[in-house]
């Protein structure tokens, strides 16, 4: 079975600074990987996804993520954070092939200082 | 498209009462998922449907929980009788071809059982 670890429960950055949120997964084959963002009182919104091909994927809101098979990682990055990026971020893994459900990490809460 | 629609947004009920949560998936999506989110346990998959048929309900915590999908545009999650430990945010999500292409989440129902 697949699993996801987000080692950082809470991260604080200043507005305009760069951001990297960590995600490590466990899965025996090539996984499908996702990053979601959740604003307070809202559902989760898909930021980006990786299935295959180019290991650097671009998403919405200026986010990108890099799949590193050797490190079992799929870290989320943004070069310059905006105050509106303050939210909770979830990494998720899905098994390729016939499996249907995603497994979510425990989330990283991002605080942006003015 | 209006997205995944959940109702009600908030529900406060007394212990022992029956609670019914509702979900309208995105038209054309063939998978529907029910998740529960709590501070302690994060996002937990309760059950999911494919073409209105329940596929995996192993995440349903107890027999007090039941879910139905009578047609492609409607699903319910029922708790009877409700208990304080059921207090959580319940999310519905839908997708095409399972979770491999990412889910679209509803805004959730915040349930409080007193």
Mean pLDDT by 10 residues, chain A (114 residues): 91 97 88 92 91 90 95 96 96 71 91 96
pLDDT at A99: 46
B71-96: average pLDDT: 96
B23-44: average pLDDT: 93
Q: What is the pLDDT of residues B7-18, one digit of tens each?
A: 999 999 999 999
Most A CBs within 10 A among B99, B106, B109, hence the mutation to make, goes to: B99
pLDDT at B64 over 50: yes
Q: Count the Cβ atoms, other than its own, within 10 Å of residue A62.
A: 14
pLDDT at B103: 86
| Average pLDDT of every residue of chain B | 93
Q: Which residues of A touch B33 (CB under 8 A)?
A: 101
In Å, how far is A18's CA from the nearest CA of chain B?
A: 26
pLDDT at A103: 87
Q: Does B103 touch chain A (CB under 8 A)?
A: yes
Q: Say if the Cβ atoms of B100 and A45 lie within 8 Å.
A: no
pLDDT at B1: 66
- For B111, the token pair is 């349930």
Chain B 21-50, residues with CB within 8 Å of chain A CB atoms: 31, 33, 42-43, 45, 48, 50
Choose the closest CB to B100 out of A45, A94, A105: A94
Choose the closest CB to A43 out of B48, B98, B106: B106
Q: What are the CA-CA distances from residue B10 to residues A65, B26, B42, B114 (Å)?
A: 34, 21, 19, 13
Cα B65 from Cα A91, distance rounded (Å): 27
């Amino acid at each position: 079975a697949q699993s996801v670890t987000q080692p950082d429960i809470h991260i604080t950055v200043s507005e305009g600074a760069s951001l990297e949120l960590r995600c490590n997964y466990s899965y025996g084959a090539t996984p499908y990987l996702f990053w979601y963002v959740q604003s307070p009182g809202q559902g989760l919104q898909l930021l980006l996804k990786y299935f295959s091909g180019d290991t650097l994927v671009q998403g919405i809101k200026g986010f990108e993520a890099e799949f590193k098979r050797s490190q079992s990682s799929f870290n989320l990055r943004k070069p310059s954070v905006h105050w509106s990026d303050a939210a909770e971020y979830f990494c998720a893994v899905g098994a390729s092939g016939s499996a249907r459900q995603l497994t979510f990490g425990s989330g990283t809460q991002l605080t942006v200082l003015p | 498209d209006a997205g995944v629609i959940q109702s009600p947004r908030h529900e406060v009920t007394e212990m022992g009462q029956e609670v019914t949560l509702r979900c309208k998936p995105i038209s054309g999506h063939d998978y529907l998922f029910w998740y529960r989110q709590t501070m302690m346990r994060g996002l937990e998959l309760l059950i999911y449907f494919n073409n209105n048929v329940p596929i995996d309900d192993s995440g349903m915590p107890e027999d007090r929980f039941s879910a139905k999908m009578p047609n492609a545009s409607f699903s319910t999650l029922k708790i009877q009788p409700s208990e304080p430990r059921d207090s959580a945010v319940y999310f519905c999500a839908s997708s095409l071809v399972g979770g491999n292409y990412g889910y679209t989440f509803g805004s959730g129902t915040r349930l409080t059982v007193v």
